[in-house]
Amino acid sequence: MVDDHTLFRELLAGLLAQEPWLDVVAQGGSGPAAVALARQHRPDIALLDVQMPGPGIRTTILEIHQHCPQVHCIVLTMRDDPVLLKSLIDAGAAAYLLKSVSSRELLASIRSVIAAPERIHLSISRDMIKAFAPPGGSAPLLSTREVEILRHVAQAHSNAEVAAALYLAETTVKRHLTNIYRKLGATSRVDAIRRAHEAGILEPYP
C-alpha cells in the first residue's frame, strides 16, 4: 500500500488488516517506494494513490509491471478524471477507484481483482463514463497537431513562437489550445502540461 498521506495510509492498512484473507505486507509513501516494495515483497495487489512523490502514477505502474508483471495495481484517487483513467488503464491498472468508495466497495474490488484479474474494475461517476467513452468514437484524446503544440508549450514557447515553429496562424494555435484545455479538463497552460504528463501524453519529466 502506497500513499504519501501517512494517517490515511495507516488507517486504511489497519482496516484491511482486519480481514482474515488479507495481509498488508508493506507500506510506502512515493512512486519509487512502490516499485521497490513490489520488487521486494512480490504482492498480489499494489494499492496506489494517484498523487504522490515520484515520476507519476503511470510511470510507477509501468515500472512495477516491468519488474513484477504478476502484481495487480489498484489506483485510489480523489480525481474523477477521464484523461487520467484512460492513461492508467492503458498502463495496465487493474482497478480505478475513487476515495469516496465505502470500505465494503474497496474490499469487494480487491476480491474481484484477485478473482478476475483479466477484467478492469471501476468505481467512477456516470459523467466520467460518458467522458471516457464518447458515443461513436474511438479517436485519440488529443490529435497529433494538438500534441505537437502542447510539446512546444511545455518548452515555455509563447503562442507566437509556436505559430512560427509550426507555420500556423497565432489564432489557430489559440484555438488548438482551447481544445486542448477542454479535452484535458485544464484551466491553464501549466495545468494542461501537468495533466498531459500524468496521462502519458507527454514524456515524463527528466
Q: Are residues 45 and 96 in the same domain?
A: yes
Predicted pLDDT at 21? 93
Residue 134's nearest CA partner among 182, 201, 101, 198 is 182
Residue 203 lies in a domain: no
Task: Give the pTM.
Answer: 0.66
Q: Is residue 31 part of a domain?
A: yes
Which set of grid coordinates corresponds to residue 154? 511545455
Range of the domain at 25: 6-132
Domain count along the chain: 2
pLDDT at 121: 78
Q: Are residues 64 and 121 in the same domain?
A: yes
Same domain as 75, residue 119 = yes
Neighbours of 100 (CB within 10 A): 11
Residues 11 and 56 both lie in one domain: yes
Q: Are residues 80 and 34 in the same domain?
A: yes
- Diameter of the chain measured on Cα atoms: 64
Q: Which of 106, 132, 158 is the last residue of a domain?
A: 132
With respect to residue 181, please indicate whether it lies within any of the assigned structural domains: yes
Residue 94 belongs to domain with CATH number: 3.40.50.2300
Q: What is the mean pLDDT of each run of 10 residues along the chain (206 residues)?
A: 94 93 94 96 95 90 94 90 81 90 90 85 65 48 84 92 92 92 88 83 64
The CA-atom distances, in angstroms, between 159 and each of 95, 165, 172, 173 are 38, 10, 9, 6
| Residue 74: DSSP 8-state | E
102 and 157 assigned to the same domain: no
- Residue-level pLDDT at 203: 67
Query: Is-contact 88 95, C-beta < 8 A?
Result: no
Q: Are residues 115 and 192 located together in one domain of the fold?
A: no
- Cα 89 to Cα 84, 92, 122, 125: the distances in Å are 9, 5, 10, 16
pLDDT given at position 49: 94
* 56 domain residue, yes or no: yes
Q: Tell me which DSSP letter residue 87 carries.
A: H
Same domain, yes or no: 16 and 103: yes
pLDDT of amino acid 196: 84
Identify whether residues 104 and 177 lie together within a single domain: no
CA distances (Å), origin 150, targets 9, 10, 55, 199: 35, 39, 19, 13
57, three cell numbers: 502514477
The last residue of one of the domains, among 109, 132, 155, is: 132
